[in-house]
């Protein structure tokens, strides 16, 4: 009968993929998306001009460009804030600090960023550019999912605190 190594794998082989690598990859992707968000925000005027020139916007007029840019920059700020919260959340997970109040706060902020993005995107998509509405529905659904995860973390933090008091 083969014996298990301290890492739980038979024969002492370490798994190729583990939690640490998964968190590291997620942090790297989050940082990349953060940089991508900044690049897209800097290209905002060109992107809006391209959409208007191609006739992709449902409403025409001189104010449409400024409304689109304003909404885009507001959404970019929300995305950047959400990505910062996610990056810090992942850093705490990497440190082994899982069920702590800071993670509950981060998840709450992420959920609110998604919810606010949904409130901005859905009406904007119905009036200006339909894909915004699709993004808004996705953001709203993500807000619900993150909120449920936040509630689970919040309960776990309470249980951990009670358990810490009994020891």
pLDDT in tens, 17-49: 899 999 999 999 999 999 999 999 999 999 999
| pTM flag (> 0.75) | yes
Is 84 within 8 Å of 31 (Cβ atoms)?
A: no
Task: Of 39, 105, 44, give the one whose Cα is nearest residue 74.
Answer: 44
Angle formed by the axes of helices 44-53 and 19-42, to 10°? 70
Contact residues for 135 (Cβ-Cβ < 8 A; gap 6+): 117, 121, 125
pLDDT at 11 over 70: no
What is the C-alpha to C-alpha distance for residues 66 and 77, in angstroms, rounded to an integer? 16
Q: Which residues of 95-112 are buried (b: 16+ CB within 10 A; e: fewer)?
A: eeeebbeebbbbbbbbbb
Return d(Cα 166, Cα 141) in angstroms, integer: 38
Which tokens hold the place of 12? 């002492």
The position carrying tokens 């950047």 is 80
Pairwise CA distance, residues 110 & 85, whole Å: 7
> What single DSSP character describes residue 15?
P
pLDDT (tens digit, 9 = 90+) per residue, 109-149?
999 999 999 999 999 999 999 999 999 999 999 999 999 99
Burial class of residue 47 in the structure, from the number of CB atoms within 10 Å of its CB (0-12 exposed, 13-18 middle, 19+ buried): middle
């Amino acid at each position: 009968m083969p014996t298990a190594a301290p890492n739980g794998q038979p024969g002492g082989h370490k798994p190729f993929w583990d939690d640490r690598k998964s968190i590291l990859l997620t942090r790297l992707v989050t940082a990349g998306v953060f940089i991508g968000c900044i690049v897209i925000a800097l290209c905002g005027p060109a992107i809006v001009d391209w959409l208007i020139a191609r006739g992709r916007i449902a409403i025409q007029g001189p104010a449409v460009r400024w409304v689109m840019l304003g909404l885009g920059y507001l959404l970019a700020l929300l995305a950047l804030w959400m990505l910062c919260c996610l990056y810090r959340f992942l850093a705490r997970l990497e440190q082994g600090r899982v069920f702590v109040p800071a993670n509950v706060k981060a998840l709450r902020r992420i959920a609110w960023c998604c919810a606010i993005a949904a409130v901005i995107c859905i009406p904007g998509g119905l009036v200006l550019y339909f894909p915004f509405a699709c993004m808004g529905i996705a953001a709203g659904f993500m807000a619900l999912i993150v909120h449920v995860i936040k509630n689970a973390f919040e309960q776990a933090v309470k249980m951990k605190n009670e358990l810490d008091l009994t020891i």
